[in-house]
Amino acid sequence: MLKHKPSGDPARDSKLFIGSLEKGFRLLECFESSHRRLSLTKLAQLSGLDNSSLQRLLHTLMTLGYLRKDINKLYALTPRMLHLGTNYLRTNDLVERATPLLQIAHAKSGETINLVELDGADTIFVARFLAEHPINIWILLGSRTPVYCSAAGRVMLAQMPETEARAIVDRCDRRAFTSRTLTATDAIMAKVRQARMDGYAVSEEEFMEGDVSVGAPVFDRTGAVAAAVSCPVSTLRWKSAKVRQKVITLVRDNARLISNGERATP
């Protein structure tokens, strides 16, 4: 969910900033997997909006077709929301370039393979091809994972100046998803530095038990990090040196191909 930034942020304090638009997005971002249908009271609690503003925004968003209300007076998103996300994917040059390469890599390897972008303190899945028996089928396009405990997130942080990467980690709400999740900034930054040296990152059961994720960085035409290719495998399979080498090679090779603007060749 969008977090309200305090006064003093130059962008927010600008006369060009439209507060009502920000409130509308804040309201829409209240809806997530754990909050699928929400009452007026719950929306007020989650959004921090007063009843007057909330009711006007709800009426507007329902009129535009982005929200609906059921017979129990609970609000939910409508399929129209997908239009905005789909347009992003259709107009994203990186996704367009990467998709055929990842599709071929998936078909040849049989592994789940993803393209992940950075958004603030989260990573977002923007392309995803699932293995025959995936271990995290609940992760959909648009799903977010915290940057500090994901391989894709750490390998993107590794391409930034140390102070910038540390500032992002410090902003994270670093909760422990499993007993193996690193939450201390220094420990996380040690993993980031390791990823910088290796050219790839590994996260072992830090976001989900039984899951190991490997990520490699994708660069844009200026040489700046633009995304990451990632591949998850089970901890059982990760014990095999052959599988480890296969997965590391898979993400590194495809990240390089995407960075170089290569065309897909079956």
Residue 1 — pLDDT band, cuts 50, 70, 90?
A: very low
100 burial (CB, 10 Å; 0-12 / 13-18 / 19+) is middle
DSSP string for residues in 22-78: HHHHHHHTT-BTTBSSB-HHHHHHHH---HHHHHHHHHHHHHHTSEEE-TTS-EEE-
Mean pLDDT, the chain, as a whole number?
Answer: 89
206-229 mean pLDDT: 94
- Please, where in the chain does CATH 1.10.10.10 lie? 10-78
Q: Where in the chain is the domain with CATH 3.30.450.40?
A: 84-259
Provide the token pair at 116.
Answer: 């992940």
Query: Which token pair is 155?
Result: 């390998």
Return the percentage of the chain with pLDDT > 90, whole number: 63
Q: Which CATH number fits domain 84-259: 3.40.50.300, 2.60.120.10, 3.50.50.60, 3.30.450.40?
A: 3.30.450.40
For the full predicted model, state whether its pTM sits above 0.75. Answer: yes
CATH code of 10-78, in short, is: 1.10.10.10
Q: Give pLDDT tens digits for 24-72.
A: 989 998 888 677 888 999 999 888 888 888 999 999 999 999 999 999 9
Nearby residues of 203 by Cβ (< 8 Å), 6 or more positions away: 149, 150, 151, 154, 212, 213, 215
Q: What is the pLDDT of residue 29?
A: 86
Tens of pLDDT, residues 123-151: 999 999 988 776 666 778 888 899 999 99
pLDDT tens, position by position, 59-91: 999 999 999 999 999 999 999 988 888 888 888
> Both tokens of residue 97?
């370039």
- The contacts of residue 234 (CB under 8 Å, 6+ apart) are 135, 210, 211, 212
Give 67's strand partners.
77
The mean-pLDDT minimum among 44-53, 225-234, 242-251 falls in: 44-53
